[in-house]
């Protein structure tokens, strides 16, 4: 892994991991994108870091993510690259519309980050990078997780959808007969990859 963005035709996608439950969705999504040779601009909020550790263990800390992904999902994840940014760094390249990042996924997205994005607050790099995607009319995929949801939270999703974001809730389905947590994570990562225009076999296609 290295911090330089690709100089070739590889796709450059921002991935933000915030402090909602569902760190496994973020890891599976990152792994699938890296396996496809993507370059990822990665932001992990303070609580995103905590949830990685709490839900996936000490080997999933941000400074060890490349090794965690290779050990969990295979060496193919080393095909891609990622650059990790501080959530406090509002001067990072993805804080500007002049950067070449074509899309952003916030997975999982906390209700706090959702609120910040919905109201264009740009208090940190997650919120600012998402704001850039909206103002530049680029793809922004928000994967919220909370239950139950308050009216302000529901309204914040509507605001984001109205501004052009795709709301892709962390709601795995069961019709594909999942047997493991990985099956559920594969389903969510597959939905995200489809939304980004990738083909994949992360879950079986519904045959009717």
Ligand X SMILES: Cc1cc2nc3c(=O)[nH]c(=O)nc-3n(C[C@H](O)[C@H](O)[C@H](O)COP(=O)(O)O)c2cc1C
Which residues of this chain interact with ligand X, rule CB under 6 A? 18-21, 45, 47-48, 51, 54, 110-113, 145-146
The strands making up 12-17's β-sheet, listed across from edge to edge, are 81-85, 39-44, 12-17, 103-109, 139-144, 166-167
Quote the least distance from Cβ 130 to ligand X, whole Å: 11
Quote the least distance from Cβ 110 to ligand X, whole Å: 4
Quote the least distance from Cβ 39 to ligand X, whole Å: 23
d(CA 6, CA 8): 5
* DSSP-based three-state secondary structure for 164: coil
Written as six digits, the tokens of 34 are 């890296």
d(CA 146, CA 179): 23
Quote the least distance from Cβ 8 to ligand X, whole Å: 33
Which of residues 70 and 167 has its CB atom nearest to ligand X in the complex?
167
Which of residues 15 and 77 has its CB atom nearest to ligand X in the complex?
15
**Are 203 and 187 within 8 A, CB to CB?**
yes
Quote the least distance from Cβ 196 to ligand X, whole Å: 22
Which of residues 77 and 113 has its CB atom nearest to ligand X in the complex?
113
First and final CA of the chain: distance in angstroms? 41
Which of residues 36 and 140 has its CB atom nearest to ligand X in the complex?
140
Q: DSSP class of residue 96?
A: S
Q: DSSP class of residue 169?
A: -
Which of residues 71 and 158 has its CB atom nearest to ligand X in the complex?
158
């Amino acid at each position: 892994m290295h911090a330089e963005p690709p100089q070739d035709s590889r796709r450059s996608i921002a991935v933000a991991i915030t402090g909602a439950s569902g760190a496994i969705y973020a890891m599976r999504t990152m792994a699938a994108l890296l396996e496809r040779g993507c370059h990822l601009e990665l932001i992990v909020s303070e609580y995103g870091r905590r949830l990685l550790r709490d839900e996936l263990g000490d080997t999933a800390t941000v400074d060890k993510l490349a090794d965690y992904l290779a050990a969990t999902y295979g060496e193919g994840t080393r095909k891609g690259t990622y650059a990790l940014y501080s959530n406090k760094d509002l001067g990072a390249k993805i804080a500007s519309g002049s950067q070449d990042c074509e899309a952003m996924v916030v997975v999982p997205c906390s209700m706090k980050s959702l609120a910040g994005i919905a109201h264009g607050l740009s208090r940190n790099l997650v919120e600012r990078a998402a704001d850039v995607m909206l103002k530049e009319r680029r793809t922004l995929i928000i994967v919220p997780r909370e239950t139950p949801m308050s009216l302000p939270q529901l309204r914040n999703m509507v605001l984001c959808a109205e501004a052009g974001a795709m709301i892709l809730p962390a709601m795995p389905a069961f019709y594909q007969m999942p047997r493991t947590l990985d099956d559920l994570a594969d389903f969510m990562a597959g939905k995200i990859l489809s939304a980004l225009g990738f083909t994949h076999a992360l879950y079986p296609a519904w045959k009717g």
